[in-house]
Amino acid sequence: MTFVIPTAVDLMTNSVNTHPNARGGFAGVGEGQTSQRGFAKAAGNLPLTDEATNMTSSNDGTLRGFNFGFPTAIDTSTNTKLIVWTYQFNAPNRVQTDTAANRGLVFRLGSGAGSPTTSYRTWNIAGNDKVGASARENPKMIIVDPNDLTYDEDIGTYDNTDLQTFGLGVNNLSITGTGSSNFFPQRIFAFSTVKGATDIPRFTGSSNWGDLITAMGTTFDTKITDEWIKRDGDVFSYAAPFEIGDNVTSTQFNDNGVTVFWPNATTITDADPRVRVTSAAFRAYLNLRDNAADTATFSGLYNCGNSTPAWDFNISNNSVVTFSGATFNNVGNFTVGSSVSGNATFDSCGVVYNNNASLSGSTLKNPNAGHLMRLAA
Amino acid sequence: MTFSLPTVNNTHEDNGAGDPLFAENIGSPNAVNTKEAGNLPITKDGSQFTITSDNQLAGVSYYFQATPASYDVSSSTKVLLWHNQFNAPNRIQVADLANGGVRFRLYSGTTLFSLAYKDWYIGGNDSPFAECVKGQVPFVMDLNAGNETSSAGTFDNTAVTRYGIMVNSDFVVGTQGNINFQGSNFVLGTSKGDADIPVFTGTSDFVQAVTLVQGTDYTNKIGNWIRQTGSVVYIDMPFQIGDAATATTFNDNGVTVVSPASNNAADPRFQLTDQAMQVHLNLSNSASDTCTMTGTYLWGTRANFNFDQSDASLTSIAGATFRGMGDFTIGSSVSGAANFDNTGAVKLSNSSVNINGSTISNTFASNALHFTGGPMDIANMRFESYAGKHAILIDTVGTYKLTDVFFDQSGTADIETTHTTGTVTIDLAGTTTTPTFTNTGGGTVVLNFPNRILTLNGIVAGSRILVTDTTNTVVLFNEVPSTSPFVGSIASQGTDVDLSIRVRNGAVPYKTFDTTATLTSAGVGINVSQVSDV
């Protein structure tokens, strides 16, 4: 019974000034660094028992933010990674941001050396007119694929082979009372989207979607994240790639008929532009051992949203993968191998590449590709 | 283009003493005042109470309304939508769920010091309400809800008068006290036509409901009872499509709609009866009033869907999936092939209802489909996974026709009849599975099977055919067909029949052609091969 969330790249528990990987304040035109940098916010992180990097922005029409370094530079030129971060405003009268168009709350990725780097892309992910900053909410997720091209600013020469920094900034606008903006970035992840990678979220053992909730934590002193994993009854929302099996550990996965969906990719024109991803972000893989004891059973409903990621169930060995009335909506190209059998509905998916899977009784409809299925030669 | 909520019940923008509906403190909060920006939208203050001691239980209570002084929910329930948040993250400071970190109280009786109330534990430091700061946390309380954690006195649901929120403090991080803000709330009706049930009218869809509640900026976000992630919309309230007066063109645009479960052990913020999350169709009697549903509806409670509308309005449910709700009543204004999975009974309210092509599986009811409107015809429907139950209930005498209907025969019996006198006639047509029966009522049931078709190809002109039912020793055809192929329609009792076939022509002459075949529901075709006997 295991779902493993890979280790965070940064827990963000230090003040700005004591952060070991501080890489300088925002320094572009009309920008400045975070106003208060000397203390961390008590209970501002997840779990609640941890402090959080505290960031404030003065009400001076300046986009104020700070950059932090990845432990090692990230290369997304061949396979992308997915940045998954959460932030939270302090009390509700400390939201205080301008609109998203006016850079109310921005996420930044920088490439190359320098503190700060001189090459970066910025995504305007919230503002007082967007879900991410129209009120004080739960820890709000930021889901950014470094290769996403809906960025709102591109400065210098952004190099996706050498991504070194991540940052947040707020353009303060006093919208309620006179307090300044005060918010806390929390732990940040950089997930792989590649089969077999060490840093892709993964099910092993006797597992199901409920294990996500266990992995996330459910008490004030264990809960490590929020929003990008959520459960409402038998409906799960999830905003990351995943893999079932690691080709080493005995794995028996069963979705138990639940519904799982991913958010839509968005842009600044959307009501909630915090998900900025390519079709590579929300990929899924089967990686079961060559052993009949390894099983995966799907009877639930999956909806990948509008980013239509390719799913790779192309496994042809002694493992046993059963589709038992599962429905897959908005998956991109979906490759299945001979270990897969049973009936499923593929609705609004890409091409189902069938490498000798027995899918009798399945329904394929509303393709978002030129054809519904391609059989192996 | 409208999604309408009723007027807010209490904005909770004032401190206790300043709110005319304030009833009394519960326990002894250390302060009752207001929090700047503590409401939604954040341009509004929120009523606030503070607890400064560890392990202290305290809160506030309010009357629902000044006049009339109480709600009678004995016949039709109402639900309270409320939200509530803590100040900064080190100001949560509540006990776990088992110890009632966050509690809701509902009172009956009109006297201020009534002791009749129910308490529900709805949050704690180990549940989504208070595991970390969540902003305004929505919760929904059915005024008839059971599963209360505790109670006092004799609760009277004909006179529900006030409500309260309480916190049981536990200083889990640091030593600062607990500060809790209450936001605005709504009291909603749940029955068709109620003045206070949320309603879609005009050219409308679910995204409009999201926008109304989430707002377009910080000045008009009013709550989190409706949320959207991707193409999934969470809606924590009952609703109605149309108001029987305003022109309405509703389209769900294929989204997935999720309604919460009640009394979830890990997150008991929703305390609901099966009346709470009902959905009603209430279009005007006009062909220009339409409702189009192609999405997926996932219901956490057995609330009924009342689509019993039979007039000129047009509702299509073609391609929609309905899962988890209670009974689904359908009138003749509604049509289309839909999927009903783990729902209550699908009830067809009159003989003109056409949901042919639908699949009903995993029924929660004792019968997947009920002809509540009496005799009618259905076609191309599939009944699957009804173990221990029945696919169809028939309780009214008359003739029913089932064409190309599939029963997977997983149930106790495929059809249950409950009429006590008279005759129910069921005409099976096409490829309909021969159903099994339970005749609970004892009335007469007549089952008519479709004829089965024998085709003889390549008959030499002038030949005589002799077709014999060797199972029942009956001659079926003994004639010289005028044309070839010969197509014979043979009455069936639902079982396969063994045939003996002989074709002779002595005039030319030809040798006698003899063969045998089994006539199944799919029919049988024989290529007659007559050999010259010169």
Reported as a single tens digit per residue, the pLDDT across A312-326 is 999 999 999 999 999
CA A302/CA A283 separation, integer angstroms: 13
SS3 letters across B295-319: CEEEECCCCCEEECCCCCCEEECCC
Q: What is the DSSP letter of A128?
A: T
Chain B residues touching A176 at Cβ < 8 A: 36-37, 42-43, 218
- Token readout for B259 is 């309604």
CA B279/CA B264 separation, integer angstroms: 21
- pLDDT of res. A1: 63
Q: Chain B: nearest CA to A114, how far in angstroms?
A: 34
Inter-chain residue contact B132 with A48, CB threshold 8 Å:
yes
* Higher pLDDT pick, A113 / B450: A113
* Residue of chain B whose alpha carbon sits nearest to that of A130: B217
Strands A340-347 and A363-365, bridge-based pairing: parallel
Residue carrying structure tokens 């230090």 = A14
Q: Which of residues 215-234 of B touch A (CB under 8 A)?
A: 215-218, 221, 224, 228-232, 234
Chain A residues touching B261 at Cβ < 8 A: 232-233
Nearest to A181 by CA among A168, A162, A164: A168
pLDDT band at residue A59 using 50, 70 and 90 as cut-offs: confident
Contacts of B377 (CB under 8 A, 6+ apart): B351, B400, B401, B402, B403
Strands B367-370 and B390-394, bridge-based pairing: parallel
CA B279/CA B77 separation, integer angstroms: 14
Provide the mean pLDDT of chain B.
Answer: 94
Chain A residues touching B234 at Cβ < 8 A: 232
A228-250 average pLDDT score: 95
Q: What is the dihedral of CA A198, A201, A203, A207, to 10 degrees?
A: 150
Chain B residues touching A44 at Cβ < 8 A: 88-89
pLDDT band at residue B1 using 50, 70 and 90 as cut-offs: low
Q: Chain A: nearest CA to B482, how far in angstroms?
A: 43
Task: Select, from the ranges A1-10, A29-38, A115-124, B467-476, the one with the highest average predicted confidence (pLDDT).
Answer: A115-124
The pTM score is: 0.93
At A84-128, the pLDDT tens digits run 999 999 988 999 999 999 999 999 999 999 999 999 999 999 999
- The minimal CB distance from B260 to the residues A218, A232, A301 is found for A232
Q: Give me the interface pTM, i.e. the ipTM.
A: 0.93
Nearest to A184 by CA among A33, A42, A60: A42
φ/ψ of residue B213, rounded to 5: -85, -45
Chain A residues touching B232 at Cβ < 8 A: 235, 237, 261, 303
Chain B residues touching A92 at Cβ < 8 A: 35, 37-38, 42, 46, 85, 135, 181
Q: Chain A: nearest CA to B235, how far in angstroms?
A: 11
Contacts of B387 (CB under 8 A, 6+ apart): B410, B411
Q: Chain A: nearest CA to B470, how far in angstroms?
A: 37
Top residue of A87, A219, A299, A330 to mutate, by most chain B CBs within 10 Å, is A219
Q: Chain A: nearest CA to B531, how far in angstroms?
A: 43
- Token readout for B306 is 């009342």
Inter-chain residue contact B92 with A128, CB threshold 8 Å:
no
- Token readout for B53 is 């001691």
Nearest to A201 by CA among A191, A215, A211, A209: A191
Nearest to B38 by CA among B101, B74, B91, B78: B91
- pLDDT of res. B65: 87
Q: Chain B: nearest CA to A112, how far in angstroms?
A: 34
Inter-chain residue contact B42 with A99, CB threshold 8 Å:
no
